[in-house]
Structure 1
Amino acid sequence: MNAALVTAWGAAPHYTVVPAPTARDGEVLVDVLAVGLHPRTRSGAAGAHYTSTGRLPLIPGVDGVGRRPDGRLVYFAADDDVDGTMADRAAIDPRRAIELPEGVDVARIAAAMNPAMSSWVALRARVRFEAGKRVLVLGATGNAGSMAVQIAKLLGAGTVVAAGRDRARLNAITGADARVPLTDDAEATASALSAMAADVDIVLDYLWGVPTQRAIVALLTARSDRSRPLDWVQIGSVAGPTLELPSAALRSANLRLLGSGQGAVSPRGYLAELPALVERIDAGEVSVSPRAAALADVERVWGEPEVPGERIVLTP
């Protein structure tokens, strides 16, 4: 079969012919229809994601839309220890797949599910989220972050504050009640976060690193009631994998640090949340524009920069 194949860490995959997969016990072979080129896919192909097995060569791709031999359309996620999804066919575990309605826009589902599920699952499975809660999205100018703003609103957030570095993208985000530009001026950024987001209930953090380190201190210092719970949900780390957290931050406020990702939520827990998300995406309530490309062009499109609101979708 045809597939994208990574043969060196950090290099783009090339389009080549590889042996077709065989289904192990309990698996099903599907014809792949659409696969999103997500940042998570790129980090996995670079060996930089925390789930990386360290083995080469590999077929990249963490999810996709496919058709089962019985004709049913499914969205599926790949196991960490098997070949990825950027190929003509894939062997999938039915326990990591959900059936899709006929007529669904497969490119739209492939484009949106991975970035959208990060905030959808975080708010529905990792924290006690109720209508009226106040949410800060830290790193809102990425595609996943901008979707997080929309999803928080869809789920009933009373106020959503979007914070990010790209001012043009920040101003264009749909659903934000307030916007905080993250700049190199640490004092000005801290002051803006304190003014706009000091009393939020939940932070969805796609940044980590130094920006999060500064934001935690700014928000806790300015909270009107430090005993009120603040759930800080770590989802991404585009600004760095580590930070320094003063011990006083945990003693002087009701700060609860937790993560949302593979391992923090079981595969079964993820899948249970996805049918409702599919309905929202298919209804156009989560903004995304799939940009179709042939799988044969994977090497050419692999390094193209992310365009706001777009996601490259590869079709075999």
Structure 2
Amino acid sequence: MDPFSILLDGARARGTFVLRTILNPPWSVQVRDRVPLNLVAVLRGTPWVVPGAGDAVRLDAGDIALMRGPDAFTFADDPRTPTQVVVQPGPRRTTAAGAELPEAADMGVRTWVNGERAHEDGADGSSVLLIGKYSGPGEIVARLLRVMPPLLVVPTAAHLESALVSLLAKETVRNEPGQDLVLERLLDLLLIGVLREWLTRPDADAPAWFRAGGDPVVGSVLRLIHGEPGRPWTVAALAREAGVSRATLARRFTDVVGMPPMTYLTGWRIDVAADLLVESDATIDTVARQVGYSSGFAFSAAFKRARGISPQRHRADARNRP
């Protein structure tokens, strides 16, 4: 797979939170749940999104917004509307003062409204939002999150994304066998489409690894590193696979990616290992071999140099995190 596909493969939704919300003005919902990534599709209305830092942005029906956590953000009918509902970790809904809100406002499968006055037909000027949350992307996906802006808006989504939004909206309010899995896969497809659209914009500040995917030499080396991190790679071995000299590969890779190939390989191995430590019960020695280290001791030393903690501590901290 290409580097973009491999990175996004780690962003698969698991235990997905998907919700349709119908909001009648005046309304203002502040999200403080600290999840790493929120996706919001506007089905109806022209709401505002107010990031934790930066200017408020008005959205139109068909727009899709991605908010990178853990910073708070607010959706409202008007930026001046006082906060009425706060989404806390869990997620729980409270008032701005912290009082728990009753669940009586829930109206149907995966649907929430801000009171009985909201209407399905939109005659009252209500907005309808489709919300998806990625609660725990791993270390590999963190590479992508680090280059994303805190707020990313794809206006009036393209045909594919529009079709996916429509399908996700229909499936969100269904309750059939396998429904959670259907929602997870649809949310994944929508996220991939939005990110691909953003990264291929002429004005996008795409990361070096994404731009490098189109380079005939560096792109092929990245695919080798990402696809087989456990192989005993050297600059000579990578250059031989790419059909260039060691000097050419070292110079070209550094110019395009911003670091030497072996530095990039080490960082990728550590990120892959960090995910394996959390997602599996494999021993340290097994993880070490999977990412190209000859022993658990060598791997532990490299991991501690890169992260400042041991692999065992990383695993324990991640699993004890709420």
Q: What TM-score, normalized by structure 1, do the two folds share?
A: 0.27
More helix per residue: 2
Larger Rg belongs to:
2
